[in-house]
Amino acid sequence: MRSFRIKGVVGFADRVRRELSAPISGARKSQLRGEVAELIRQVDQIVVNRGTRIERLPPPTRRAYHFLANLDIDAATPVAAADATEPSPGTIRLVGVRSYWQSILRRLALASVAGDRDELYDSIRSTNQKIEHNLEEQGLAMRDLTAQSRTIRGWLAFFANRQNFDAYVVAIDRARPVFEAVLRRTEHFHQPAIVEFQSISGLYKLRGRRNETRVILPTPMIVFSSELFALLAEASLANGDKQPVMAATASDEYQSVQAELEALSGVEERAGGVHRDLDTSFERINERYFSGSLARPRLTWSRSFTGRKFGHYDSIRDAVMISCSLDRANVPQHALDFVVYHELLHKKLGIDWHNGRASAHTREFRAQERLFDRYSEAEAALKKLAGGGS
């Protein structure tokens, strides 16, 4: 029998993890206990009705189910005095803002007349003011908003500043012609280039359509010159050299924009977990293997219960993300520490470039990776977890 997906289980498990990573009220604990029990009951019933087993669920759903089924809510986090009627952290969505923002992105990509751009700026500034007023009126902090709403709020706040808005417009005027020049030489993508600057991981995303190509770039790239955009266009559309573009993302100018956007977005790290803490792991690994020399990157848990890729280092944002599959009581501490060590090695060693090609897992990397004290045990534990072992 083919596996089938039950919608909402992974998202629910992530929300429970978010709440239990910080002290909550006794009343909310009791409420969560009931919600978890009800979801488990519903999933069990669906599985019975389908004549299958839990192990036939897709891996992320299965891992989320096992996390919830084995969760000891009482032991997970200390109780704090709190009003049980307060919204849970990260659950409030700014209704209608996402569709408005997507419309603005496209209109900015297409606008070429100064008057149209002025109108768009006035719209962004006005919408930002309304959002700030509504947040203040409702007594909401940034931590109350969903990650997506925080990101969009930060973007709007940043470009409500006229100088930043003008930089966005200039960046589109620089990027569009060089991307279209490369598009004319490709078979799989078509003109015109619809250039958007928004929050993404990596250097670019391309969305080809029959009559256009959406070119989605990280917002801090508004500081790029025409020459850098030309290099990026070659890298993304014609397998050009990415190294100069990667180097440009480490510039003070780029990083300053990134830092301001993150500050305006109220980005909160999620180093604390239900059973494990990434700060503690980082401090232990940094002292043991790097003599305390590594600057602390941003540390966060993933939202999804991954089963093969347990960590990721984003050099552009200097951020380490660890799979929340490792935030379980029955996962050995040395397994988590090894994944943190692996990602910190990426931070320390960077990327090796040869003939325009990037290599992260070099011979030197593998040699240093094996210096981890319990390397074989950690590898075995992770392989077991990847294979579905609980």
DSSP state of 87: P
Q: What is the mean pLDDT of residues 172-193?
A: 94
Both tokens assigned to 361: 């897992």
pLDDT at residue 264 tops 50: yes
Task: Read off the pLDDT of residues 11-48 as tens digits, 9 standing for 90 and up.
Answer: 899 888 888 887 778 888 888 999 999 999 999 999 99
Both tokens assigned to 268: 């909160």
- Higher-confidence residue: 377 or 60? 377
Q: Of the spans 48-52, 80-84, 171-175, which averages the highest pLDDT? A: 171-175
Band (355; pLDDT cuts 50, 70, 90): low
Q: What is the mean pLDDT of residues 268-282?
A: 88
User: Which of 95-104, 227-236, 269-278 has the weakest average pLDDT?
Assistant: 269-278
Domains of the chain are 9-76 (no CATH), 97-264 (no CATH), 278-386 (3.30.2010.10)
pLDDT at 144: 84
DSSP state of 296: P
Terminal C-alpha separation, the chain: 22
What would the DSSP string read from start to end of 118-183?
Answer: HHHHHHHHHHHHHHHHHHHHHT--GGGB-HHHHHHHHHHHHHTSHHHHHHHHHHHHHHHHHHHHHH
pLDDT at 387: 74
Task: Classify 62 as helix, strand or coil.
Answer: helix
For residue 320, what is the enclosing H or E element?
strand 319-322
Q: Which residues contact 267 (CB under 8 A, 6 or more apart)?
A: 150, 154
Beta carbons of 343 and 314 less than 8 angstroms apart: no
pLDDT at 267: 56
pLDDT at 83: 44
CA distance 109 to 118: 14
pTM of the model: 0.66
pLDDT at 8: 83
